[in-house]
Amino acid sequence: MTSVRPSLRVEKALWAEGRTVIACDEVGRGALAGPVAVGAAVMAPRTRRVRVPEGLRDSKLIPEARRAAMADTARAWVDATSLGWATAAEIDAVGITRALGLAAHRALDALRGQGVGFADAVVLLDGNHDYISPVAPLACAVRPIIKGDRDCASASAASVVAKVARDALMVDLHQHEPVYRWERNKGYASLEHRSAIDIHGMSAHHRASWAIAPAPTLF
């Protein structure tokens, strides 16, 4: 089945109002280990025709072998990108929702460091909940959009940039903790990952506050 292609319908409506679009998407919310990452992608108002890059999708819909190249394409297509992170320890300390907000603010702060202005911006946030504003108010609107990473091309760009960066980090962490096979599962709850936790316990990169179900016994 052909996957849904993102469009610029929402972005164009905001550009017509003179608004800069800053799309944010998270990666790693449901993982058992590793940080959560929030990617941000900036698209200032366009007056010329804009074509969505061929193959750009929500990162989960892009084959793994193609993601790194698509992340490069996405970074070149938008005006700026950034990443924000919250560690497993921070997730344990404040909970996943607030940790997402912390990561998002760090991504947005990184954009400010690149000279991105927020006065005329709208933050498009994938999902149905604004986890950014409760951490600290922004000087611009935050607009959650359900399936934003699927339907809004700017959010798709943020999604693939964040996914590639977090996957690369988990592959690097695998070198230090190979028993958990993070190079394959990227910290998510695969059977082999849960089996390794049953045998070896949790590492410093696991979310210790989470109720991690044991691996099922196979007969």
How many angstroms separate the CA atoms of 6 and 49, rounded? 16
pLDDT at site 217: 65
**Is 87 a residue whose pLDDT tops 50?**
yes
Of 80-84, 87-91, 212-216, the least confident: 212-216
Q: Which of 25, 40, 7 is nearest to 126 (CA)?
A: 25
Taking the C-alpha atoms of residue 15 and residue 10, their distance in angstroms, rounded to an integer, is 9
Of the pLDDT bands very low, low, confident and very high (cuts 50, 70, 90), residue 1 is: very low
Quick one: average pLDDT of 118-146? 96
- Separation between Cα atoms, residue 163 and residue 160, nearest integer Å: 5
Mean pLDDT of 64-90: 97
Widest pairwise Cα distance in the chain? 63
Q: Could you give all domains of the chain from N- to C-terminal order, each with its CATH number?
A: 9-164 (3.30.420.10)
The CA–CA distances, whole Å, from 161 to 24, 40, 152 equal 10, 8, 15
Q: Give the pair of three-digit tokens for residue 134.
A: 């409760």
Q: Are 14 and 155 in contact (CB under 8 A)?
A: no
In this predicted structure, the answer to whether residue 213 has a pLDDT above a threshold of 80 is no
* Residue 89, number of CB atoms within 10 A of its CB: 15
- Gap between the terminal Cα atoms of the chain: 35
Lowest pLDDT segment from 93-102, 146-155, 182-191, 207-216: 207-216
What residues are paired with 84 via a beta bridge? 38
Q: What is the mean pLDDT of residues 153-181?
A: 97
pLDDT of residue 3: 60
pLDDT at 196: 95
pLDDT in tens, 30-70: 999 999 999 999 999 998 889 999 999 999 899 999 999 99
Is it the case that residue 2 has pLDDT exceeding 50?
A: no
When the pLDDT of each residue in the chain is averaged and rounded to a whole number, the result is: 94
CB 5 within 8 Å of CB 151: no
Report yes or no: 206 and 177 within 8 Å, Cβ to Cβ: no
* 64-80 mean pLDDT: 96
The pLDDT assigned to 4 comes to 79
Mean pLDDT along residues 187-212: 93
